[in-house]
Amino acid sequence: MKLRSFAGFVGPSVVLMLVLLALPMLMTVVLSVRNCALEMELVTLQQTGPFGAHAVTTQRARVDASGQAVRTCEWVGLDYYRKVLGLEAAPTASPEAAAAPTTPAMPPVSAKPAEPTEFLSALRFTLLYVAATTPFVLGGGLVLALAMNRVTQRLKAVFIAASLLPFIITPVVGALAIKWLFRDNGLVPHLLGGLGVQVFWMAQAWSAQMLVVLYGIWHVLPFAFIVFYAGLQGVPQDALEAATIDGATRWQRLRYVTLPHLMPLLVFVLMMHLMDAYRVFEPVMVLTQGAFTTSVQYLTYHVLLQEDNPYKASAASVLTIIGIAILLIPLLRKTWREQRQRH
């Protein structure tokens, strides 16, 4: 393929990736190491009331000649990263309240000191979620694909359509379905109550975390299943027949013929799931609202919503990207080495 034809083929995709991925990521990194704040000034206003006029001194944002608020930006380095990691306590009061008339006001932060274990707690559950869901997604998807490969052709379409429903449903809707099933007056507690078992699923940390993990398996398993099932259609039948003639058992055919053929797909599904699982947000938001479980992605949302500080939230987002990269580096290195050996 000529260079011009190749550039015309991949050019639009490269441009879209730069605009939709690279540029926002670069802006997030820039926001995480800077701070922009309004310049505040003290003004005296005359207020008139039933008992006469009196002067009131208040604080407001300084404006320029065009009436726009004046902002001052400065580089703060890794300060917000330290706050996210809990290495630096947040101030006990908003700096705006004690700022001098010409001192830039810092973004509002939480009134209480930052919890040193907040990020570690979010990271701990995120890694627990990744470790708990990954074996079930890979193993369950492979088992379902192998079982589907033995179903009659007439029933395959029905089973495949039914199995894809959890993956097609919007994540928030799927999480709400799990919540309604396990809430105190839901179907599952009602059935367990008939057996004499009473569990308050939404009121305990272990049960809430288990529901989040259950949702992760239920939602992602169909994706792994359909990828593995598609890969099974390309397994060379002559190799399987030769192994059968040589006396190989079903397990030996699976281990030495089928799995090597599916290995690239296994790596692909693993990489996709690691990226998605590390960014788990919807089930944490819907099922617990961060009460018993909090993830790294939910922590970013919490910082942005509660502290109204986009700069600190950007630092949390960059830390999330770094965590995903750390998880993917071993797989990427392994894939790169295998490709070099083949060529």
User: Residue 73 has what pLDDT?
Assistant: 81
**Residues paired with residue 74 on neighbouring β-strands, in sequence order:** 35
Task: Specify the pTM.
Answer: 0.77
Residues 232, 286: Cα–Cα separation, whole Å: 36
**Residues paired with residue 86 on neighbouring β-strands, in sequence order:** none
φ, ψ for residue 121 (rounded to 5)? -65, -45
Annotate 273-325 with DSSP letters as a single string: HHHHHHT--HHIIIIITTSS---HHHHHHHHHHHS--HHHHHHHHHHHHHHHH
The owner of tokens 């099922």 is 287
Residues 170, 166: Cα–Cα separation, whole Å: 8
If we measure between CA atoms, which residue out of 82, 134, 107, 122 comes closest to residue 320?
A: 122
Burial class for 268, CB neighbours closer than 10 Å (0-12, 13-18, 19+):
middle
Tokens of 63: 């404006």
Annotate 214-261 with DSSP letters as a single string: HHHHHHHHHHHHHHHHHHHTTS-HHHHHHHHHTT--HHHHIIIIIHHH
Where exactly are the structural domains of the chain? 118-306
Q: Could you read off the pLDDT of 199-250 as tens digits, one per residue?
A: 888 878 888 889 999 999 999 999 999 999 989 888 888 888 888 888 888 8
User: Residue 91 has what pLDDT?
Assistant: 42
The topology under which CATH files domain 118-306 is MetI-like fold (1.10.3720)
User: Residue 343 has what pLDDT?
Assistant: 64
Q: 201: part of which helix (H) or strand (E)?
A: none
User: Could you say which residues of the chain have pLDDT below 70?
Assistant: 1, 49, 51-52, 88-117, 343
Confirm if 35 and 311 have CB atoms less than 8 A apart.
yes
